[in-house]
Structures are given as C-alpha cells and as structure tokens.
Amino acid sequence: MQTFITENFLLQTEAARRLYFDHVQHLPIIDYHNHLSPEDIAENRKFKTITEVWLNGDHYKWRAMRANGIDEKLITGDADDYEKFKAWAATVPYTMRNPLYHWTHLELKHPFNVNELLNEESAEKIYNQCNELLQTKYSVPEILMYHKVELLCTTDNPTDDLKHHQQIAQSNSKLKVYPAFRPDIFLNFNERNEWLHQLQLLEQSTKSSINSPDDFLTALQSRIEYFHNNGCRLSDHGLEFMPLYSTGIKNYESIFSDLLQNKNVLQDDLDSLKAYVLFELCKLYYSKNWVQQFHLGAMRNNNSRLLKLLGRDAGTDSIGDYKQAGNLSVFLNELDKENKLAKTILYNLNPADNEVFATLAGNFNDGSVAGKIQWGSAWWFLDQKDGMEKQLNALSNMGLLSRFVGMITDSRSFLSFSRHDYFRRILCNLIGNEIENGELPSDFNWLGDVLTGISYRNAKEYFGWNIKLNT
C-alpha cells in the first residue's frame, strides 16, 4: 500500500498550502536542542543498517514495542539488526495515530524516498533499500544537508572536552554545531556515587580541587567559559520541578562537606543546596548572555528492572504531576530582582501545566528583548500533532505566538529532522484554518512572514550566534 505522506500532508486548506509552499517549506533548520552525537558528525559517520540509526537508542520505539507484546530480546537484546527491524516493522501498524506512525513514514520518505507503508510484509524490502542508501549516499553530513540543517546544538556534560565540536568547527563544513551546557548530574545529589565520580572528572578537567561550594562553582564557571569559547550559548537543566530558592543564609559549606564525605544529608538541605547552586549558575548564564533552558516535570526511571538492565533513557519515563508554579516563580523573580535574569525557555512535560507555564513566562518579560521569556515547544510525549496544537494555541492565547523561537527535535537520531517539517505543516494548517474561518485577516505576506519567524528567523535572532571561534 502506498504511503499517505503526500505533498499536502496535514495541509487541509488552500490557505494552509499557500502559507507552507510559499513561505516555510524550504527554510533551513536551526535545531537548538537535541541529543545528537557530535562525534558522529565530526567523523562523517556511515551507518551499516537503519537499525543502527533508527532503533538503537530510540526509547520511544522501545516503549511501543513493549506495549505491543514484543520480547525485550528483539528490542534491546541480542537479536540481530534485521530481526529487530522486523519486530519494529510488525509493530508499526499497531502505532496508528501515535506520532511514531507519522514519524516513521515521514522518515522513510525523507531521505530514503520510501513510499510504501512499513509493516511485516514490506519490512525486508525497505530494510535493504534504506541500508543501501545509508552505506552509499546518506552519511551523517549528507543527511544533515538533505534536511537543510544550518545550525544545531548538542547537549553536553560540563566536563566534555568538546573536541568533536572543535573538529567540526575546523572543518570546511558550513554546518554550525555548538555545544549546550547541561550540568544535571552535578545537581543530582541523590545519585551520590555518580555525583562524586563526576566531581572527580570536573576536578580533572579544571585542574582544581573542589572542597566547598565556592570551589564547585568556580570549577563550573571555568567550564562555562570553556563552553562559551567553543560556541556554546545555551544551558539546559532537567528537573522534576524547580527547587525552592531562598535568599536566607544557609550553611551550604557544611552540607557540601557532608556530601563530599558521603554522609547522610536531609532532603531539605539537598534541595536548598541545589537551588543555591542553580541560582548561581543562572547568574553566570546571564553574565555570558546565554539562553537558559529548563525542562520540568518528567518522572524518570520508573521501572527498576529495566533501569538495572539498560540504564537511563530506557523508555520507562513518564509525565509527573509535580507542583510547578510557586517555586519557579520565586526563582525567576529573585533573578529578576538582582537584574540577572537571562533569556529563558521553560518547557513543561505535563500538558495540564500548559497554561501555568504560558502565563508564568509572561510575568518576567521586561521589554529588553522581544520574547525574552519563552514557553518552549511541545516536548517529548507532547511532541505530536495534538500536543503541538495545544502548545501553539495556549501560547497564542496567553502570550505572543509571533515571537516564538519554534521547534526542536530533542532527538538522539539523525533521522528525526522531518519533525521540523511536521511542525511547520501543523503550524501552517492552524493559521490557514483561521484565515479561511475569518478569524485572521487573509494577509498572506504578513502571516507568511510571521510563520517564517517561528520556523526559522526568531531563533536566529534570539540566540545571537554571531560567533567567531578561536579556531
């Protein structure tokens, strides 16, 4: 059966099609948040099979396969690449209406030009066709070029030496690849052994000895400088919820010292220290004119059995129902009071918090830059048509859609860039419908320009990547 991924996919009105084809279809991609491997880019990696680039590491697909009754051996186990692909292919029809179903066929269409539906019957043919193209035509840089990727930001541990980023910068590639600073593990005091281990790495990478919160922050600051010199302009934090920041004096030194000595520390004290360190980091981000990102609300690693077997990011995370508003407001307000509030992007995972986030962001715009506090694009489980439409609608109703910095893949796979096209189609469709309904004026030049902004230009202007690296 032929695919349903046609030229007009998701563009339900003439107005939507006009907006899409005349204005946004061919725009380059700025993907300012993802989990791609800089090494794969630097090394022009060629994948042997589509399983490598498409199934290994994609916990979205793993979850779907488990829900479909597939044995773990065929998901993350020791089955061979073709067996795994076939198990996925057999699952695909059962994912109808899940974003995986659309993504799958978009990603087979682009870049592989597969026009058939993937299922058990078509699996072998499609497997061979894609593998051949991966080996002959679509190495990593060629995939990126196919999708007109202009700039992307990876997500990196503060101790990363960024040598792959440097290698890319020194190459002739026009593609910009910048690191983003993600120090989650350094704030995750509850995973103490890992924290202590990372602290050692931080000492090594900064050639310093860390015995106090001050030492700790000095070391992190030095890494921020290093990242900045390598083109980094974004930080990112993943948290269940913002810890409660208090301006009162706390004995951070003794808490930190207890941590170092692997002593028991009260959860309240850990939370205070976390809020303090985070606050100090945010002031540093402000001083470098970075954009800070907060990803809030995931409840991670719920399944101990699979955590033990596979480690983190194994497809056993879900949406939390934490309280978000109060602490987040206090945190941003205290930064604003000190005139140290950097440009900020807030992402929520629970869609029940959409309106809380959409409106909270609006409290801290100060007129210094358009769209200073952003409510980020629909994230993870929400990264699908319904979720995007809800985010776009709530953002429209409670903020300024026209100042939105737009879509990101947040992906671990080089085949995910079709999600930008998916987003653009959905966006054009929303606006097109309202033009046809008479809820917006039918001014295609103006609205096409607004959509160009959301799809590409706003991000470019917001992040300020006029970067000359010392390379």
Query: Torsion over CA of 433, 434, 438 and 443, rounded to 10 degrees?
Result: -100
User: Of 107-115, 190-198, 346-354, 408-416, which part binds a copy of itself (CB under 8 A)?
Assistant: 346-354
Site string for a copy of itself, 211-230 (x = CB under 8 A): --------------------
- Specify the stretch interacting with a copy of itself by CB under 8 A; choose among 106-114, 208-216, 274-282, 326-334: 326-334
By CB under 8 A, residue 152 contacts a copy of itself: no
In the complex, least distance from residue 205 CB atom to a copy of itself, rounded to whole angstroms: 35
Torsion angle, CA of 190/193/199/205, rounded to 10 degrees?
A: -130
- The span from the CA of 152 to the CA of 414, in Å, is 11
Q: Is the peptide bond before 111 cis (omega within 30 degrees of 0)?
A: yes
* Interface with a copy of itself, residue 447, by CB under 8 A: yes
Nearer to a copy of itself, 82 or 381 (CB): 381
Is the Cβ–Cβ distance between 465 and 151 less than 8 Å?
Answer: yes
Q: Please give the span between the terminal C-alpha atoms of the chain, in angstroms, as a whole number.
A: 51
CA dist 255 and 273 (Å) reads 7
Q: Which helix (H) or strand (E) holds 209?
A: none
Residue 303 touching a copy of itself (CB under 8 A): yes
Stretch that binds a copy of itself, among 21-29, 205-213, 298-306, 415-423 (CB under 8 A): 298-306
Using CB under 8 A, which residues numbered 53 to 92 contact a copy of itself?
63-72, 75
User: Contact between 333 and a copy of itself (CB under 8 A)?
Assistant: yes
Q: Using alpha carbons only, give the angle 161, 166, 168 rounded to the nearest 5 degrees.
A: 130
Q: How far apart are CA 449 and CA 194, in angstroms?
A: 48
Binding to a copy of itself by residue 370, rule CB under 8 A?
A: yes
The residue among 96, 74, 88 whose CA lies nearest residue 120 is: 88
The residues, any chain, with a CB within 8 Å of residue 157's CB and separated by 6 or more, are 182, 183, 185, 198
* Closer to a copy of itself by Cβ: residue 167 or 318: 318
Quick one: which of 368, 466, 468, 470 contacts a copy of itself (CB under 8 A)?
368
Q: Which stretch binds a copy of itself (CB under 8 A): 142-150, 221-229, 260-268, 356-364?
A: 356-364
Q: Which of residues 105-144 bind a copy of itself (CB under 8 A)?
A: 117
Please report which residue ranges of 79-162 form alpha helices under DSSP H: 81-91, 99-109, 123-136, 140-146
Question: Using CB under 8 A, which of 321, 464, 469, 471 touches a copy of itself?
Answer: 321
For residue 428, give the amino acid letter: C
Out of 96, 209, 264, 311, the only residue in the binding site for a copy of itself (CB under 8 A) is 96
How buried is 150 (Cβ within 10 angstroms: 0-12 exposed, 13-18 middle, 19+ buried)? middle
* 448 binds a copy of itself, rule: CB under 8 A: no
Contacts of 215 (CB under 8 A, 6+ apart): 208, 209
By CB under 8 A, tell whether 276 contacts a copy of itself.
no
**DSSP letters spanning 344-396:** EEEEES-GGGHHHHHHHHHTT--SSSTT-EEEPPP-GGG-SHHHHHHHHHHHH
- Which of 145, 260, 325, 467 is the binder for a copy of itself (CB under 8 A)? 325
Q: In what order do the strands lie in the sheet with 149-153?
A: 29-31, 149-153, 176-178
Stretch binding a copy of itself (CB under 8 A), from 21-29, 225-233, 250-258, 347-355: 347-355
Nearest distance from C-beta of residue 75 to a copy of itself, angstroms: 7
* Shortest Cβ 70–a copy of itself spacing (Å): 5
Q: Are 31 and 409 in contact (CB under 8 A)?
A: yes
Closer CB to a copy of itself, 105 or 182, in the complex: 105
Site pattern 396..425 for a copy of itself (x: CB under 8 A): xxxxxxxx----------------------
Name the one range near a copy of itself by CB under 8 A: 214-222, 248-256, 415-423, 445-453. Answer: 445-453
CB of 161 to a copy of itself, least distance (A): 35
Check residue 9 for interaction with a copy of itself (CB under 8 A): yes
